Structure formats: C-alpha cells, structure tokens
Amino acid sequence: MDNPVFDPQNLDSPDLYLNRELSLLEFQFRVLDEARDPTNPLLERVKFLAIVGSNLEEFFMVRVGGLKMQKETGVFELPPDGLTPSQQLAEIRKVAQKLMEKAETVWREELLPALKENGIYVLDYHELTPKQRENVNAYFHEIIYPVLTPLAYDPGHPFPHISNLSLNLAVMVRGKNNVKRFARIKVPPSLPQLVPIKRSSGSTRKDGTSPKKHYFVWIDQVIQANLAHLFPGMEVLESHTFHVTRNSDMEIQELEALDLLDLIEESVRKRRFGAVTRLMIHPNMSPEIRKILIENLKVEPSEIYELNGPLVLSNLFELPRIDRYDLKDKPFFPAIPEALKKEPLEDENLFHAIRQKDILLHHPYDSFNPVIDFLRAASRDPHVLAIKQTLYRVGKDSPVVHALLEAQRDYGKQVAVLVELKARFDEESNIGWAKILEQEGVHVIYGLLGLKTHSKVALVVRREGNHIRRYIHLSTGNYNHITANIYEDIGMFTCDEEIGADATDLFNYLTGYASRDTYRKLLVAPINLRQRFEALIRQEIAHQKSGKQGYLLFKMNALVDKPMIRLLYEASQAGVKIDLIVRGICCLRPGIPGISENITVRSIVGRFLEHSRIYYFHNAGEEIIYMGSADLMPRNLNQRVEVLFPVEDPQMIRTIRDEILETYLKDNVKARIMQPDGSYKRLKPQPGEPIINAQETFIARRREAQGEHG
C-alpha cells in the first residue's frame, strides 16, 4: 500500500489493521536479524537461525494449516484487515519464500564462513578428505545403517506415510529387469543430524589454551553417499532430500466428548496425518520424483518451497551444544530477592517473608527456585491444608509437579491441579503428568469446555492460629523450570486477602460449577477482563480531556484484538500518549496522522524471550499496574481463562515503572521501532547517547546486587 489516505472518522477501515499472519512473519525477520548481528556471540547467532526454522515449522503447522482448512471449507470470518484465507495464503507464500531465502543466505554467506574461522566446520560430503570419508562411512555402517528402513512404492506397496516435520530421501533405483522404482528413506530423527567427524587441537590461544576444532557433515548426505548398501543388486539413479510440514491445527469438538483425556489423545494421533502445508525440496530434484511427491502428498505448487541450503534449519540447534563457551553468551547466576534471602528458605521463613510484603520476581534475572521452594514448603508445612494450582506448560521432570506429588503422597495434603490438556504441542507431556497426578490421588481437572485455561496461579491455604490465611503466587509465565531460565517473565507472591478470595473463587469456577460475574481485584477472562480493561483505557481518555495528561504503557507478546486496537486509536486521537512494547504480532499501525500519531510501538528481540505482560495506566498520578497471562488477542480475551493481577505496593509499582518498563523504553541496542506500514527500524545509539541493552542492564544490576551481598 503506497501512502494510503486514512479517514480519522472511520476507525473500522481495514487499512488501519495489519494482517496477523504477515505480522508474525515480520517478527521472524527480526529474529533473523539477530542471527546476522555480529555483536552476538557466534553460536548464539546460529541458535537464532535455528529459532527461525523452528518458528516457521510451527507457523506452517498451525497458522497456514488453519487458513488452508478455512479455504477448503469456506467457513471463515474475515479478519480486521479484510483479507480472505486465499489472499492471506498468497501473501504468506511471497513473504515466507523471501524469509527462507534470506535465512539460507545468512547461513551460507555469513555464519558458515564465521564458524570456519573459529574452527567449526560444517562440511558437505564432497568436501571431506579421504580419511574423513572413511571415518564417516564407518559411522554409517555401525550407527546409521541399522536404523534405516527403505520403503518401496510400487504396485505391491502403497506410497508410504510421510510423517510431519520429517526429513526424507526420495530415491530412484533400477533393477536387473531395467524397471525404475521409487523408494523413500526417512532420515532417523533420533540420531545427530550433524554427524561429528573428528576433533583436533587448533592453534594456541593467547591465554595458552588450545581450542578444539569441530568437524560435521549432514546426516542425509552421509546416507546418500552410502545408498548402494541399502539397495544391493540395484542401480541407484538419483536421490533427493525433501522435508514435509503437516497441518497440526486440529479442531477439537469438546462438546461431543464424553472423556476429554481420550479426546485429546486421539487428536494428537490424528495430527500426524494432517494435510501437507509445506513441501521443501532442492531445485535440482528431477521432474519425475517431483511429480511422484506432488501427486501422493497432494500438494499445490504454491505449497512447494525450493532452497539450496539445509531444508531443516531447526537442526542447527545441535551446534550451540558443543563445548565452545567462548562463542556463547556469558553465563550468569539468577539472584534471590532480598526478602527471600533468610536461611533456610523454607516453611515458616518463606511464609513469614510473604506476610511482610508482596514479593516481586523478575525472571530469569531472579531465580525461579523460590517458586519451587514455595510449593515444597507448602507440601511439608503441617499448617498447610490445601494447594491448588494451574499448569499449562511444565516440561519434563518438573520439580513443580514433584512438589505437588510429594504434598499428596508423603504429607496427605489436599491438592487440586488444573492441567490444561489443550496446550498446543504440550498435550502429550500434560497427559502424562495428569495421569501420574491422578494415580497419586491428586484432584486433577482438565479445564473448561470450550476454553483453554492459560492463567498462572498457585494458591496455598494455611491455618494460622484460629484463622485461615491464603498465600498466592501469580505470574505472567508458565510453571516450567527450564523456560524460566530463558523466558523473561514476572511473578508475585502475596497473601492479600481479597486476591486470596478471588483465587479461591477462580479455582471453584475451574473445578466446579461456581460462576461469578465479578471479582474483587483480579481481572479474569472471559468474565470481566475485557470490560474492566476497556474501562481503564476510557478512564485515561477522560483524564486527558480534563487536562491530566493521559498515558498508557503496555508490554505484551501480541496485539491483535480489533476492539482494543480501535480503543487505542480513540485514546491517541484524544491526545493520550501511548507506548507499546510488543514482542511479536502487532496489528495496530502507529504514527498515522490524526489517528495514531501519539502511539509508538517497539519490539525487543534479544538473548531472552520477552514474555511478560505488563499494563500500566498513569491514572492522573494514581498509577495502576496489572500483570498476568493475557495478551490483547481475541483468543485471550474471549476463549481462554486468563488472569491479570494488580500491583498495589507503591515500591513495587516504582520498581516496575522505573527499573523495568523505563529500561525497555531506553533500549537502543535490541529495540526496533515499528513503522506505519508494519516494517521495523532498529534503533541505534545517537552520538553521546549511553548504550542501553535492556536485558544486559537487568543482568548487570543483579550481578552488582549479588556482589554487594557477598
């Protein structure tokens, strides 16, 4: 769109709203930008490239898969930007192709040479020395060959199922009868995709150490070089690598289900057989093999992507695992908040600390251990009567779940856990945990019909004298001890009576038939969150009109919801200054005269995934802050159980405003400013301006604080 003219009176114009899917692809360009950034350690740059590959896999599984279903069924609701599913798929094709080609160029022209300069060689098979080939071929016979299963395709054998995200070899062979046959070989995902060849000592560093040189070759090339061993007595005519992505956006008809657990298990099984949404091949694939794949995988020409480089960029996650710490981010040790530093940090000491004041945790700069300690203390404390918690994504070997199991099994506590089975791509893990918890006698709830439970709440009910006190942990992030080290999130401990009563009502709503239209302090979707949030924005508009300088500062992962965007446009038109920090999707157009000239949107992409949601309302100096699990998206506001919790302690409000949010606004290293057309420009420090990287600033503050205390 070239310099469109916007009507300030028509805030419903499709031109005012960016497409959700294209905005998500624009985010991938920002991630790719980090792979190109020479100020990032080299193996971290490789990791960013792998993240682009992984994000694209999910994009084609979910977003493209959903659009494809809408196109085929003809059942859809136009998004605010007005593009039909067919139009969106056509635009996605153009942008995704450009993104993949750019990612391939970054790998070939920037990262591969840089890795080589640092003694890490990712070689093609034809580049190997005779000795290296000998070693690799021996690895093939010992490790790879026993795992491979060639599958024929001929009148006696149907075309084999090609599993989602699999890397495969399409092979054409000819037998003694001179008949050509097609076979498919799946590259084993259980083996390293980058086969290590050998390591040798490099030149001595200035500090006297001698780094190791690392040599790798792609596993599919090793298999291709040894195909004769898989088809003895036949002539291998050609072989080509291909990669398949399938639709994983499976609709779950919960209302027809008698058992939600069985239903989710079945939907996970069906996901493996979804329609192909992307077929990735190399340009040199022969027309004959291409035709076989197209006909049997039922793909359209627009769903085929040709690339010269690696087809599965997510396999590059293997490289950052090597022991070259000089090429990685410097490690740091998360801090323990001052209020929780009493030893031993358990039981009465921990509950006593929470009684003194609300406690803020800013992960990963603050340790996640106090959250685990909180649950462990609750499980052991003889005064604790019950523990209730929501679990969305907890991961493997979860200390959080182990603490809940311990509370039930070893201490006889009443434990109730809502395990969200519909957490996409965590279904199998959550099903496993749900069964284990149930076997130990924990009350397990699978969620509400038609709604995902996305809120992050843990409630501990404790008898203290003749009274009951409730201790609550609320968070913007999941109870996952692994992602807590790489996701930026904020949590809060409190024993506020009204929040405790709200948390009790929330769990009664989740576990039983209780229904409330109001909550005392919590904002709960889909009950009162949207209405209360809209009222707070309108209140800011009223303050501005009365001369009290309205101001909004929101930090979130995504801004998609049309009514919210429209209201922000209204606030901007009224003169309210609005700063938005939106990591990923943003469908709002900032900087449009007469409509959004008072709105700035910035995105920060760095070492940690910005995941917290913080909503600040200036409120004529009586500041209001809500934090929690909800982004401003239709699904969060309408189709999920979400919780935003208030921050009321004045010192904590100052900390969030001045030390967290203001630091993000000052970032001139990792921040990008959104333009009206949806593109982004990276900020750079101006002459004489201090260099501020928000994430590094948070790390430096924790290091300084830890130094001061020992």
**What is the C-alpha separation between 680 and 602, in angstroms, rounded?**
8
Task: Specify if 259 maps to a domain.
Answer: no
- Give the count of alpha carbons within 13 A of 435, CB side only: 9
**What is the C-alpha separation between 674 and 584, in angstroms, rounded?**
11
Domain-terminating residue out of 489, 516, 543: 516
**pLDDT level of residue 203 (50, 70, 90 thresholds):** low
**What is the C-alpha separation between 569 and 8, in angstroms, rounded?**
9
Neighbours of 365 (CB within 10 A): 21
- Give the total residue count for the chain: 710
Dihedral of alpha carbons 561, 565, 566, 570, sign = positive
Do 295 and 189 reside in the same domain of the chain? yes
- Per-residue burial over 23-35, b if 16 or more Cβ lie within 10 Å, else e, is bbbbbbbbbbbbb
**pLDDT level of residue 255 (50, 70, 90 thresholds):** very low
Domain-terminating residue out of 500, 516, 532: 516
**Of 243, 362, 363, 454, which residue is the catalytic one?**
454
Task: Specify if 6 maps to a domain.
Answer: no
pLDDT, tens digit, for every residue of 260-312?
566 556 666 666 678 999 999 999 999 999 999 999 999 999 999 999 999 99
165: Cβ–Cβ under 8 A, 6 or more apart, which residues? 57, 61, 243, 244, 245, 246, 312
**In DSSP terms, which residues pair with 604 in a beta bridge?**
671
Neighbours of 646 (CB within 10 A): 20
Neighbours of 279 (CB within 10 A): 22
- Of 42-46, 136-140, 686-690, minimum mean pLDDT range: 686-690
**What is the C-alpha separation between 132 and 634, in angstroms, rounded?**
55
**What is the C-alpha separation between 405 and 162, in angstroms, rounded?**
39
pLDDT, tens digit, for every residue of 513-572?
767 788 999 999 999 999 999 999 999 999 999 999 999 999 999 999 999 999 999 999
Domain-terminating residue out of 496, 516, 536: 516
Tally the domains of the chain.
3
Do 357 and 284 reside in the same domain of the chain? no
CB–CB of 388/408 below 8 Å? Answer: no
pLDDT, tens digit, for every residue of 204-214?
555 544 467 99
**The 3-state secondary structure of 302-357, one letter per residue:** HHEEECCCCCCHHHHHHHHHCCCHHHCCCCCCCECCHHHCCCCCCHHHHHHHHHHC
Neighbours of 634 (CB within 10 A): 17
Do 368 and 448 reside in the same domain of the chain? yes
- Helices 85-105, 20-36: crossing angle, 10 deg rounding: 0
570, containing H or E segment: helix 562-573
Q: What is the pLDDT of residue 264?
A: 59
Work out the widest C-alpha separation in the chain, in whole angstroms: 91
Do 131 and 105 reside in the same domain of the chain? yes
Q: What is the pLDDT of residue 250?
A: 58
596: Cβ–Cβ under 8 A, 6 or more apart, which residues? 568, 569, 572, 588, 589, 590, 676
**What is the C-alpha separation between 354 and 491, in angstroms, rounded?**
13
**Omega of the bond prior to 364 within 30 degrees of 0, cis?**
yes
CB–CB of 501/521 below 8 Å? Answer: no
Quote the DSSP letter at residue 656.
Answer: I
Task: Flag whether pLDDT at 662 surpasses 60.
Answer: yes
pLDDT, tens digit, for every residue of 603-655?
999 999 999 999 999 999 999 999 999 999 999 999 999 999 999 999 999 99
Do 346 and 396 reside in the same domain of the chain? yes
Q: What is the pLDDT of residue 263?
A: 58
pLDDT, tens digit, for every residue of 148-163?
999 999 888 899 999 9
Task: Specify if 85 maps to a domain.
Answer: yes
Task: Specify if 626 maps to a domain.
Answer: yes
CB–CB of 457/645 below 8 Å? Answer: no
Do 79 and 195 reside in the same domain of the chain? yes
Q: What is the pLDDT of residue 322?
A: 94
Which position has the higher pLDDT, 446 or 134? 134
Kindly state the percentage of the chain with pLDDT values over 70: 92
pLDDT, tens digit, for every residue of 1-10?
456 678 888 9
Kindly state the percentage of the chain with pLDDT values over 90: 78
**pLDDT level of residue 596 (50, 70, 90 thresholds):** very high
- Of 64-73, 270-279, 651-660, minimum mean pLDDT range: 270-279
**What is the C-alpha separation between 262 and 593, in angstroms, rounded?**
54
Task: Specify if 348 maps to a domain.
Answer: yes
327: left (phi over 0), alpha (psi -120 to 50) or beta: alpha
Do 304 and 407 reside in the same domain of the chain? no
Task: Flag whether pLDDT at 421 surpasses 50.
Answer: yes
Do 662 and 566 reside in the same domain of the chain? yes
How deeply is 201 buried, as exposed, middle or buried, from its count of CB atoms within 10 A (0-12, 13-18, 19+)? exposed
Task: Specify if 86 maps to a domain.
Answer: yes
Do 504 and 574 reside in the same domain of the chain? no
Do 80 and 200 reside in the same domain of the chain? yes
Q: What is the pLDDT of residue 710?
A: 39
Amino acid at 679: S
Do 413 and 537 reside in the same domain of the chain? no
Annotated active-site residue 454? The verdict is yes
Identify the domain containing residue 441 by its residue range.
338-516
Which position has the higher pLDDT, 410 or 5? 410
**Helix, strand, coil distribution of the chain in percent, nearest 5:** 40, 25, 35
**Omega of the bond prior to 344 within 30 degrees of 0, cis?**
yes
Task: Specify if 394 maps to a domain.
Answer: yes
471, containing H or E segment: strand 467-475
Task: Specify if 268 maps to a domain.
Answer: no
**pLDDT level of residue 176 (50, 70, 90 thresholds):** confident
Q: What is the pLDDT of residue 664?
A: 98
The two tokens of residue 411 are 């201490």
Task: Flag whether pLDDT at 41 surpasses 80.
Answer: yes
CATH number at residue 96: 3.30.1840.10
Do 203 and 105 reside in the same domain of the chain? yes
CATH number at residue 399: 3.30.870.10
